[in-house]
Structure 1
Amino acid sequence: MSRSPVTADDLDRAVQLSLATLREAPPGAWEGKAGSLEWDCWETVEHLSDDLFAYAAQIGPRKPPLDTHVPFAWERRRPGGPANTIHADRTAGPDGLLQVLDASGALLVAMVRTTPPEVRAHHVFGVSDPEGFAAMGIVETLVHTHDLAEGLGLAWDPPGDLCSRVLARLFPDAPGSSDPWPTLLWATGRAELPEHARRTTWRWYGEPRA
């Protein structure tokens, strides 16, 4: 069955839509919890930035590792907080936080554009290719912006075509008859679908597809 490939332009679009939404947040709202997560909204943006940075770094070496992550050091800033390499300078405020997200997204966009499609690199959910890492970055961006929008009191309804492409690339077991955005929320354990209970565990499948 044919599918539309996930591209660097798709990733850039997802990140820029997320940033446009998050820039509408009230300045004092960043310490609140991000949706159903145990992290606050500031930490969640740091985590998303860290995801995008890490995916860019993973396909960066001339010989990317196939059995482990590139060994950047990471730390938790508090017990139960996200384990990140990337942290934003708190004194830069929300504008600085979102600039960190913008920069991290740009790194992954650039790496997806310039990395040969035959390159493979490790991910815990399957050795993947540049398209796969782009799709992973889009999923992280869409669903964590959902978490953030819940915590910040913002509307967030990403384009169905983006959701459809990443579902086809990473979630071959997802239902094909429901709307793409609710289906992606279901696939990532954030919602129920008719005749499909909310998932308590989930994963994607990053292996390259024909």
Structure 2
Amino acid sequence: MKSCPECYFQNVNLEGANLKKANLKRANLEGANLRNSDLAEADLWGATLQGADLTAADLTAADLFNSDLRLVNFEGANLEEAELVAAKLGGVNLKSANLRRVTMSGADLRGVNLSGANLQEVTLSDANLNSADLRGADLTGAYLARTDLKKADLRGANLGKASLREAKLSDANLESANLEGTELVAADLRGANLEGANLEGANLEGAIMPDGSTHD
């Protein structure tokens, strides 16, 4: 199956299916089983995948613009360079997923599980990651300007050379996180846990520190 725009596949079992470069624009895949499927470069523009299981699926460079991905299980999935702009991501599971170089500016990822995810060079500016689980995630070189990370769990996360300019990190847990060379200009770190964090070479100009003081 390589072309089936607007098709209805609700709750269908497509485990391990070869859907590489398939045209599934505006298709209904709600609740579908797509575990281990190949959806690399597939066109899923505007598709409905709410509640679908995409565990370990390959979505490299897939177009998911404006798609409904609420409650989708992407655990271990490969989404490198996928298009996720304007996608609905509420309640999605992205544990251990590969999201390298994905753009999710303004995304609502409140409370989402991103633990162990590869978020290298991801763009999450102005996104809402309030209370998100980012334990052990790799955010090397990520762009997180003005991102809401309040109460986020970033224990052991790698934020080396990431941009967190004006990010909201109040009450975030950054225990043992790597912040080497990270841009934290004007970031809000009030109440954040920085125990054991590596801040070597970090730019903290104008940042509000955990104790409420402003860094020079």
TM-score calculated relative to the size of structure 2: 0.22
Task: With the length of structure 1 as denominator, give the TM-score of the two structures.
Answer: 0.22
Bigger fraction of residues in helix = 1
Larger radius of gyration: 2
